[in-house]
Amino acid sequence: MNVPSDIAVMGFGDLSSAAQVYPSLSTVSVDGKNIGLQVAQALLERFEYPNGDHQPVRIDTGFTLIDRAST
């Protein structure tokens, strides 16, 4: 199979090697530091009220599509 004519390939995390392989790998870039900070904040808030009525936490931290040759 040939990439991308027969099959498209996507990565996740936009590692530096993604641009160096052939064909260069399209990927989804996320802000790992922001995700970690948001998770830590949500946990701290939950620990503050351990017996409270806890609803699921959903936080949109966003993402960026990095379009390279593999798609």
Beta bridge partners of 2: none
pLDDT of 53 reads 79
CA dihedral 45, 49, 51, 56 (to 10 degrees): -20
Unique residue bearing structure tokens 């530096």: 16
DSSP assignment of 10-22: EEES--GGGGTSS
pLDDT of 31 reads 96
pTM reported for the whole predicted model: 0.74
| Residue 48 main-chain phi, psi, to 5 deg | -65, -30
CA dihedral 49, 52, 53, 54 (to 10 degrees): 20
Per-block mean pLDDT, blocks of 10 residues, the chain (71 long):
95 95 96 96 89 85 96 95
